[in-house]
Structure 1
Amino acid sequence: MTRTLLAVLSVLLLTLHSTAVSASQVRLKDIIEFEGIRSNPLVGYGLVVGLQGTGDTLNNSPFTQQSLEAMLERLGVNTRDQNINTENVAAVMVTADLPAFARQGSQIDVVVNSLGDAESLLGGTLLVTPLMGADGEVYSVAQGPIIVGGFSATGNAQTVTKNIPTVGRISNGATVERETGFELADMRQMRLSLRNPDLTTAIRVEQAINESFGQRISKAIDPTTVILAIPPSHQTEMVSLLAQIEQVTVQTDQIARIVIDEKAGVIVMGRDVRVDEIAIAQGNLTVTVTESQQVSQPNAFAAQGNTEVVDRSEIQIDEGEDRKLTVLNEGVSLQELVDGLNALGVGPRDMISILQTIKAAGALQAEIEVM
């Protein structure tokens, strides 16, 4: 397993090293966000009915019973102070994303999540559920049959569950009732936000836009934001202007960074990582104990004796004598760093400790981020 991880890591890093000389150009569409052009999260509380005995237990979920009674009252059925005993209803939270410029009457997908102790939402139908935005206004209404990607089967001695049966989805399950009111035509300037803030990249974005339009219409004001002044000739053609800006290419830049996921043993290194001259030695003491049992019997013609089970232990000690001291020269590249560590037979988890130790010694010219 360790050799496989090292082989994959080496191939990925070799690819990065081969492209380090000339970084590729990327579209602005892939690295920036336009002000106002974003989705808006919606949330709502509702009831799912039609479950086959897999709904909430009303004694354990009082909010489900209260919601059921309130819904029936609105329909003219009085169930107050009555003993309602049903397991076909479940309280759920409904979430959705309202796309930018979604128009009234358009439909969006919704996700339904069980709120109580329901076992499964399979076969259920969501009743009319208003979905609200962060401002408390209702922007869409959801309803429809739920599609569940999992199931649960229970027997007397075993339960089998696949995926999560208490989460479902309704495709085109919500109808947009209110628009956000954001209009591109009313804007005289727009902010472009970099997804990965960087001073050098922000300046390059400014220069690339100005060169593309042949006039100074953009200005970087911080590592994240570039202000775009809408030219008078494009104020009635905002969509065309933004589409043209999306296709402008720029060479991105980033700080040298190493991201480490200690739980999974994953290491991702940027191509600009450099190491000062340093010597590295790595060795482990490994003790392997193998237990086995053998049967000892008396001779065939022995006058007396018993058959006994005798334990046998085999102990092997690996002191890491094949590990050697490796010297990394000053200013070595990412590929040379990994080659040197691989020459020591270092696994991913040991490599994490070595990188952190090199950083502590002041020889690693990169930022280490531990997830």
Structure 2
Amino acid sequence: MKRATLGPEHLLPEHGCPPPWPGREVRLDGTVTYVRDTPATAPEAEPALYVHGLGGSSQNWTDLAGLLAGRLDGQAIDLPGFGRSEPGQRYTVPAFADRVVRWIEHSGRGPVHLFGNSLGGAVSVRVAALRPDLVRTLTLISPALPFLDFRRSLQGRMLPLLAVPRGERLAAWRLARLDPEVMAQQVMESCVADLSRISEQRRLEALEEIRVRYETAHHAAAYVRTFRGLVSSFLRAYLPGAGSLWRLAAAVRAPTLVIGGTHDRLVDVRVAPQAARVIPDSRLLMLGGVGHVAQLEVPRTVARAVLALLAEPRDGVARLAVTEDSAVRPDVAG
């Protein structure tokens, strides 16, 4: 594990708040996958793919993808059952990883710089470990890798639902009783440490995303079944077998940046440092006072860390200059 560094601020575009990037429906293996494209703003940009977390969507990457458009030709997908993608048959980490692999193969853009937040981080670890030919670098933001103490996660309150037959029906009933504005505020409060960092435009977009979920009959089932699949993967991680996410993390060979927030309320704050220790070629950046979605809360800092990763010599060639005084120590609070 290395300490992460930050690329120069001046390499990023000016401050702004772009609208969500244009999206399109793509039929893949008989179902629709929704994809947003963030076109590169400079020649020779390399392909990137962004994978969202549980309950999120491709829209979660609007700011970061825009900031990196000078280096990366970005795409962000909605996983099956989330955002504007059609539901899937299975909601497990392996099933989602298979969809990511199929998309990279279908698009013909591999290998890509792969980004994953939360659930998307766990999915991206599996992709990078099993299909190294498809991944140039890996960036994990608050990856939902296994931890067993759910007292350290607000999602621990959902565990009783997993014991209820067809618990998704109860989840849908609860969802229908909440006003969209209340739901959007609760989602923001659970994911973001400092709400003052989120612009009014982003708040309104989050509200619109919640309204889309209310109109989608499968959303509650997709959410509960995905949470069940994630918890199952956590339990299997501590049992013998090749499918353990921690064993897969140890098999990742791509240069990896791991980012965590010291005020993460959804994933145990000890997970990001542990991921950086397990992944062989890793760099750790712990952000003080930041929550679960650093790419939304402090996108410029995340973008600078990614630029530094991309600037590292590959085959003896450095792509960008990074100053020595931009080092960030991987200190962990809590």
Name the TM-score, length of structure 2 as normaliser: 0.22
Higher helix share: 2
| Structure whose alpha-carbon radius of gyration is higher | 1
Higher strand share: 1
- For CA contacts below 8 A with separation 6 or more, give which structure has more relative contact order: 2
